[in-house]
Amino acid sequence: MTAPTPTARHTAGPAISLRNATKMFATRSGDPFTAITDVTIDVAAGEFVTIVGPTGCGKSTTLSLVSGLEPVTSGTVHVHGRPVDGIPDGVGYMFQSDAVLPWKNVLDNVAVGLRYRGLGRKEAHERARDWVERVGLAGFEDRYPHQLSGGMRKRVAMAQSLIGEPSLLLLDEPFGALDVQTRELMQDELLQLWSGTGAAVVFVTHDLTEAIALADRVVVMTAGPATVKNIVPVDLPRPRKVEEIRLTPEFTELYRTVWDSLREEVEITRARGASRVA
Ligand SMILES: Nc1ncnc2c1ncn2[C@@H]1O[C@H](COP(=O)(O)OP(=O)(O)OP(=O)(O)O)[C@@H](O)[C@H]1O
């Protein structure tokens, strides 16, 4: 597997910039529901940022403001220096439930984004073949998703998100449904594929080991409505092998720092849940 050539565009400012971003949703009762409040985060080109926080605090909502799927209620969200108004150019996504199309084989699934953007079949297939190889699926081009393992489907999804050479990669618990061994393998492969691309990454996860192993910085969110509680720099050398670095004393220390920050927020969230069922 080889890393892709650097393609991300370079701008002077941060790739992503949220300033006091607040999102409210309308509710049936008429009272707006605040999902996140005053979130301020910058992500530089080529930086890998992970977001952790208690369940339901607003992590996915934060991503949806960056991807343009939801408009911000107050505050600002900029991508490559421009206010987000609809889906910005150069965004790649990956979610827990992958977007692999059951009626298309591996090659067509990987090529689908390029075809959608108007590239001819031959060229799209050539590039897709290259990406199928990069994600370790050479020889499986003709297989259909139901003939693949969970890990192989994730590889297809990874190739789908990376083939467009995104300058921004938004990942929402992409490996959440995988077993632990496959997950670690996919984490290593993601790091390898991303390294050198210059893409800014925002990766939402519940798994602190994953958050620390992948990141340049871990953003810890508060109990909902989420705001940024703490940002922990991860000064571990790259390239990284998740299996190896998670056993180092530096990693254990980082884990303690992140968990110390998160624990209180998890307890607040649990107490709210308990009071609702009391
Ligand atoms: N479209 C919507 N309309 C109303 N409320 C919403 C909408 N989207 C999200 N919410 C609410 O906003 C809050 C934050 O949701 P969000 O999915 O961002 O949290 P999360 O931290 O990603 O959750 P999880 O950890 O469970 O994945 C939740 O209370 C959710 O119910």
Q: 5: how many CB neighbours lie within 10 A of its CB? A: 9
DSSP 159-197: HHHHTT--SEEEEESTTTTS-HHHHHHHHHHHHHHHTTS
Closest residue (by CA) to atom 4 of ligand 1?
Answer: 25
- Extract the tokens encoding 174: 């992409």
Does the Cβ of 100 fall within 6 Å of ligand 1? no
Give the 3-state secondary structure percentages of the chain, helix then strand then coil, rounded to 5.
35, 20, 40
Residue type at position 95: F
The residue whose CA has the least distance to atom 1 of ligand 1 is 25
The answer for residues whose C-beta is within 8 angstroms of residue 41's C-beta and 6 or more apart is: 16, 17, 18, 49, 62, 219, 228, 231
Question: At the top level of CATH, which class does the domain 1-89+202-278 belong to?
Answer: alpha beta
Q: Are 200 and 45 in contact (CB under 8 A)?
A: yes
Please give the DSSP secondary-structure letter assigned to residue 237. Answer: -
Q: Supply φ then ψ for residue 22, to 5 degrees.
A: -125, 135
For residue 137, count other CB atoms closer than 10 A to its CB: 20
Q: Is the pTM of this model over 0.90?
A: yes
Name the residue type at position 150.
Answer: G
Cα 89 to middle of ligand 1, angstroms: 25
Task: Give, rounded to a whole angstrom, the gap between the first and last alpha carbons of the chain.
Answer: 53
| Orientation of helix 180-194 relative to helix 150-162, angle to 10° | 20
Decide if pLDDT at 274 tops 80: no
Question: Distance between CA 266 and CA 94 in Å, rounded?
Answer: 25
Mean pLDDT of the chain: 91
Phi/psi zone of residue 19: left (φ > 0), alpha (ψ -120 to 50 degrees), beta?
A: beta
pLDDT at 276: 60
Residue 98 has pLDDT above 50, yes or no: yes
Report CA(197)–ligand 1 centroid distance (Å): 31
The atom of ligand 1 lying closest to the CA of 56 is 23
- Is residue 58 predicted with pLDDT exceeding 80? yes
**Tell me: the pLDDT tens digits for 106-145?**
999 999 999 988 899 999 999 999 999 999 999 999 999 9
Q: Is the pLDDT of residue 76 over 70?
A: yes
Pocket flag, ligand 1, residue 222 (CB < 6 Å): no
pLDDT digits (tens, 9 = 90+) for 1-57: 444 444 444 457 899 999 999 999 999 888 899 999 999 999 999 999 999 999 999
Kindly report the protein residue whose alpha carbon is nearest to atom 18 of ligand 1: 58
Measuring CA to CA, which residue among 57, 78, 54, 56 is closest to residue 68?
78
Is the distance from CB of 176 to CB of 204 less than 8 angstroms? no
Q: Are strands 33-43 and 16-25 parallel, antiparallel or unpaired?
A: antiparallel
Q: Please return the burial class of 63, using the count of CB atoms within 10 Å of its CB with bins 0-12, 13-18 and 19+.
A: buried
> How large is the average pLDDT for residues 254-270?
96
Among all chains, which residue has been given the structure tokens 């909502």? 61
Reduced to 3 states (helix: H, G, I; strand: E, B; else coil), residue 250 is helix
Q: How many percent of the chain have pLDDT more than 90?
A: 80
